[in-house]
Every structure is written in C-alpha cells, then in structure tokens.
Amino acid sequence: MYYADGDDFDVVGWDEDEHVLGQRPRGARGGYGRSASPRGGAARGGAMTRTPAGLHLPRTPGAAMLHPSGPMGLLMPPGTPHPPWFQSALGVSPPMELMNTLPLTPETNGGIFTSAVSTIKFSARPQRPFRGERPVAVVKRSAGVLPGTSLQAQPIFVGVIPQAVEIGATDLDEWAPTAFGVRLAMTDAAQGTLVSVVVSTVGSAIPPGEQIVCNITIYGRALA
C-alpha cells in the first residue's frame, strides 16, 4: 500500500495479507520519510523486516515509537500478534501497574493505645489487586508516655501468608517515614484479600490519661 505526498500519516507495518497494522504522524521524530510497499521494501527510512509474529517493522531507531506505551501513544490493534518484548521495551512498567497506597484501618479505639488498650489490629481489604512494598507507620506519643514504651508489630499477613521468614515482633519505629532500606517484596493481594497486622505496646505501661496514636499505610502497586 502506498500513500501520496498529501497524506498525513506513514504506514509503519503490514500483516501477512498486507493490511495496515499501524500508522504514525508524518514528520515525527525518528520518521521513515515516505511510506513503503510491503513487497518492494522501504523508501528512505530503512528496510522492512519481518518479526517472528509476522509483523513488518522498519529497522530504524524510530521503531521504538511503535511501543504501545510510547510517546505517540500508538496501540497495536486488538488481537495483533507481537513479539514478547513488545510490551516491556524502553523500561516502561507493565500496563496498569501503578504506584498506590493501602491505608490500614484500626479495629479498636481508632488506633489509640491507652492504659486500657494495649493491642490493636490494623487491617484493610484492597478493592483492586495490590502488591505492597513499603509499610509506613506514623506514631505520636503524648508527653507523659515513658521513653521505654514502644509499639511492636507482629508480621504483616496477606490473607494467611505472613510477610516474614520468622514469627517475631518488629518495632514500629523501623517503619517510620524517614526509615531507609525497609522496602519489602510482599505477596500479591487479590481484590478483597485481608491484609492485616497486630500491634501491641511493649515495655513500660502507658500511664492513665496518656496515649499513643498510630497510623499505618502500605505503599505499593495496584496491579489492575
């Protein structure tokens, strides 16, 4: 198939039956000049080559523009065969994998530890598939809380799977917003899966009238 000089697009690929698979605006960076015939090779832009999937693509740097997440936003037509690397070229994250947050809700006393409340479970059920990476805990102590009083968390659970290789407690100060090197590779949580962690006070008791307020959020990737 050929395009006249007055057309606004160049053909960038054909299938085995010479149906056009994609087009790009003429004159874009990395362009191919005038379009080429699938039988007769390319005009001034580089020879056409056949991928294992049967898609003809030009061997030029501009071929990167064909990536579905590329700057031109060109998408392959639904059902069009393409090489395995096509979806992950140029270092682009897989489709629909976005950074997001999962706030955990305290199930007791609004997340406030007192002389009468020493253990609180924090939990959430993500409404989209989610992979947690970084728990962040913000802990605020009233002036009368003794320095020896700390909050410690049991392992985070995704469903029934603990996110630790040994059952034990972790001081929540290790999950402070300023902490470094505490990123996790958590198990994927399907939509509606319970994500939970149990936190308890350890050390000196909280005096009457004093309190420790705790909020926990898990940062990670929404997978769909």
What digits encode the pLDDT tens for the residues 119-129?
999 999 999 99
Mean model confidence pLDDT for the chain: 75
**Predicted local confidence at residue 69, as pLDDT:** 43
pLDDT digits (tens, 9 = 90+) for 164-175: 999 999 999 999
β-sheet bridge partners, residue 158: 161, 195
pTM as predicted: 0.59
pLDDT digits (tens, 9 = 90+) for 143-152: 999 999 999 9
Confidence of residue 25 (pLDDT cuts 50, 70, 90): low
Of the candidates 18, 48, 19, the residue with the CA atom closest to the CA atom of residue 33: 48
Domains of the chain by residue range: 9-91, 98-222
For the CA atoms of the chain, what is the radius of gyration?
28
3-state secondary structure 43-67: CCCCCEEECCCCCEEECCHHHHHHC
CA 61/CA 72 separation, integer angstroms: 14
Lowest-confidence range among 24-33, 180-189, 205-214? 24-33
CA 191/CA 61 separation, integer angstroms: 40
CA 23/CA 13 separation, integer angstroms: 8
Confidence of residue 33 (pLDDT cuts 50, 70, 90): very low
3-class secondary-structure state, position 85 = helix
